[in-house]
Structure formats: structure tokens, C-alpha cells
Amino acid sequence: MIGCRAPELRCPASTITPALARRFAATLGVALGCAVAAPALSQPRPGEPAPPFTLQDVAGKPVSLADFKGRTVVLEWTNPGCPFVQKHYVSRNMPALQAKYGATDVAWLSINSTHTGHADYLEPAQLAARMQAWQAAPTAILMDAEGTTGKAYGARTTPQMVVIDAGGVIRYAGAIDDRRSADPADVKVARNYVSAALDDLKAGRPVALASSTPYGCSVKYR
């Protein structure tokens, strides 16, 4: 995992004392803990109704999923401190998707479920400023510091994506694309699952790929 490395322990076998053995065990525990990419969460499946929610946007206005009844909705879990999120904004991939599909009446909701005690947490005004600097164009940027909505959707990583049809049914859930890296250059050669799902819905076709395994940084729940 990026930014997650345990200290090395190197010593001849003859010098390993009980104290060093305990230290090694503790270090191994840290390393194993770092390897866990995301918490185990249940999530609604494609074909099931999308869980309702109401969150405040970065201006303090309540925004509900029900506000967009009759429209296709994209949910994007975000955290500007995550290198995988940065990949999709620095490359302009995410802002371009938001603008392209927003112009076709798709509601795009960026949700930040980072809890207030984490180093990555940004106050609403800070989050709004960061998104503006990245030229983001979502319909709304929503605060979910308690993690209630994130957990209801089984959001495990940033970014993680959900596409909901005009009838309120989940049609896609998972990764944004098939390039599981933090390298902005990979965006150009990626197969974008969200675009494919939205294009299928617009054409009246069943979504060909309804789910995939999300990748990125773990959502920073409390």
C-alpha cells in the first residue's frame, strides 16, 4: 500500500532475544494491518434499490438522493488526500466525466466519508476549494463524516463508483476503470467502467458490466 511500510528488523539469529522477538511480532502485526486495503462492508448489489440518504453539501445545504428522482445518478466516493483520487483529478479524467455526463442531465454526487479525526479530513470550505482548484464539476459535493452513507453503500475505497438509474435501482458498482494504479498516465489506456455503464443506460441497453472490484485508498471511517 502507498505510504505504508513497516520498519525492517535485521539481526543474526544468535542475537534474537525475547524482547526482539516481541518487537518483531509487533512489527509483523503492523505490516499485516497495512496490507488490509479496506474494511469488510456489505453493499447493495446491482439490481437492488439504492439506499436513500440525505447529506449536507459543502455549503451546508441538505441534499437527498430523492431530490434526483427520475434522473440517472452517479455516486463518487472521494478523498483529495488519496493518490488514486489525485490520479483521476490531476489527469482531468474525473472533471471531464462530471462535465460530460452532467450536460446530459446525469446528477453526479461526490461524497467524502473521511471522519473528522483523520489527517485527510478537510472542512467543507477546504474541500470545496480543493475541488474548485481541480476544476471539478459534480452536481454536489457532500459531507459524510459519520460514514453513514458510505457504509450503507459498502464504500471501501476512494474512488469508488455507483451508478443508479432513473428508477432508483443500482446498475453499476465498483471501480472507475480497469487500471488499478495511481499513475495519471494510465487513464489514457484504461477501460472506463462508469462511462460504459452510463452509455448503456442512455442507449436503453442493459449495463454490460454491472460490478467490479474497487481499488484505491481505504475510506477513512471512524
Query: What is the H or E stretch that residue 211 is in?
Result: none
Sequence-distant (6+) residues with CB within 8 A of 91 are 184, 185, 187
pLDDT value, residue 40: 55
User: CB neighbours (10 Å) of residue 170?
Assistant: 24
- pLDDT at position 42 is 74
3-class SS of residue 42: coil
DSSP per residue over 121-149, as a string?
---HHHHHHHHHHTT---SEEEE-TT-HH
Higher pLDDT, residue 34 or 80: 80
Q: What is the pLDDT, as a whole number, of residue 96?
A: 98
- Cβ-in-10-Å burial (0-12, 13-18, 19+) of 50 comes to buried
In the predicted structure, residue 23 carries a pLDDT above the cut 70 = no
Question: What is the pTM assigned to this prediction?
Answer: 0.83
pLDDT in tens, 185-202: 999 999 999 999 999 999
3-state secondary structure of 163: strand
Mean pLDDT, residues 141-155 = 98
Dist. CA 198–CA 207, nearest whole Å: 8
Residue 189 has which C-alpha cell?
489506456
In CATH terms, is domain 54-218 a member of 3.40.30.10?
A: yes
Specify the pLDDT at position 21: 38
What is the chain's Cα-based Rg?
20
What residue ranges of the chain are covered by domains with CATH 3.40.30.10? Answer: 54-218
Given pLDDT bands bounded at 50, 70 and 90, which one contains residue 43?
confident
Residue pair 66/168 in contact by the 8 Å Cβ criterion: no
Better-scored residue on pLDDT, 25 or 111? 111
pLDDT recorded at residue 45: 93
